[in-house]
Structure 1
């Protein structure tokens, strides 16, 4: 029988689903920004040569994800236009949930979902698996090549150029200056009212942030923020 999952249960069963994958793993989520724990689990699957397919639906893939995926041999990434489904499967169980593979959602949002096991609900599992395969078929596989890494490096060079020309720091550099993790600094900037989060967990610059010298610079991989090096925390 299907099992109801709240937010914490969804996170727990998702990790277990990844850990228990012996043959294949399919992760379908519009938004892709993996936390460190999920990355560790997927790296272990890669070492075991488990076939992993990740399908996402938003084009602003973060440079960190590109660099990370480029290192893995058995993790394949596909882009599906108009994707809204969130579904996670291995060869024997499936989770259908409101939870995105996005670290903000996993920590902050109230989520619901169900867990289905093949040996308990074979027909439901089969239907979910076939739909996941259909989504993979209509998706375009993303080739993470050296060109993509070079483009990412170019973006980072642009970041550094901005800092040199305008005496401003990217969020990661400002975090390093204050001996903070980037995620912790982002939380502080939200607390200060310089940034806000939209419903999809993405940060955007507020009027208050602009008054404090914050700038948003668009890029091929979703854009970044610049701050005065004297920005008060």
Structure 2
């Protein structure tokens, strides 16, 4: 079940969450301001080629920090207007807290938070991940520069800057998850990404919000999904 965190526990679990990320890391915090420990941890994730996404509402980086950030090819940043949420996730757990990213490892403030395990609290983790994905979708992926923040003004430019992840068919996703295609579709129906209407499987709005797409090909209709979708 979810674990309550006080100030020191929040700092500890946040560091462990970043250190233990082996597939993905999402850091959502209103302020883009990084201390030395966070930089060290992000550099390590970059060396391991871990996909890191930072979402922020205001940048307080110094010129030297901007240069440093631009050297991390696996760290992507997104700007979200009116962002106030503080949420940190990897592929196994997440933390929802009052702690801003720039306050990490500091003890000046009294903070609280909760730690959620994907194994122990699967539904709560999924709901948190879906909301984090929604925040990412409504954000503008940006490249931070010394002069200004450059916001890509076209889909093509965004792909050039970030290397957009390709989506996979249900059969390929099922193979990755070591399921049969029918077992995967049963799970997708159970969690509400797909629905059966008039003996036909259709994509739901929830499925669309999670990145699913309905396609029509040579052999009929099919779905494609982000490779990192939470099932």
> Partner of 2:44 in structure 1?
44
Partner-residue secondary structure (3-state), 2:40: helix
Q: CA deviation at 1:65?
A: 3.2
Query: Is 2:15 aligned against 1:15?
Result: yes
1:19-34 matches, cutoff 5 A: 19-34=19-34
Q: CA deviation at 1:32?
A: 2.0
Asked if structure 1 preserves the Cα contact closer than 8 Å seen for 2:11 and 2:104, the reply is: no
Asked if structure 2 preserves the Cα contact closer than 8 Å seen for 1:30 and 1:56, the reply is: yes
- The structure carrying a bigger helix percent of its residues is 1
Q: Which runs of 4+ in 1 moved over 2 A?
A: 59-65, 103-107
Q: CA deviation at 1:66?
A: 1.5
Q: Which runs of 5+ in 1 are unaligned?
A: 153-233
Partner-residue secondary structure (3-state), 1:137: helix
Q: Which runs of 5+ in 2 are unaligned?
A: 149-231
CA RMSD, Structure 1 to Structure 2 (Å): 1.7
Query: Is 2:128 aligned against 1:128?
Result: yes
Partner-residue secondary structure (3-state), 2:89: strand
Partner-residue secondary structure (3-state), 1:49: coil
Q: With the length of structure 1 as denominator, give the TM-score of the two structures.
A: 0.60
Q: Distance in 1 between matches of 2:104 and 2:52?
A: 23
Asked if structure 2 preserves the Cα contact closer than 8 Å seen for 1:100 and 1:106, the reply is: no
Q: CA deviation at 1:34?
A: 1.1
Q: CA deviation at 1:105?
A: 8.0
Partner-residue secondary structure (3-state), 2:19: helix
Aligned length: 148
Q: Distance in 2 between matches of 1:12 and 1:88?
A: 13
Asked if structure 2 preserves the Cα contact closer than 8 Å seen for 1:99 and 1:105, the reply is: no
1:198-209 matches, cutoff 5 A: none
Q: CA deviation at 1:35?
A: 1.2
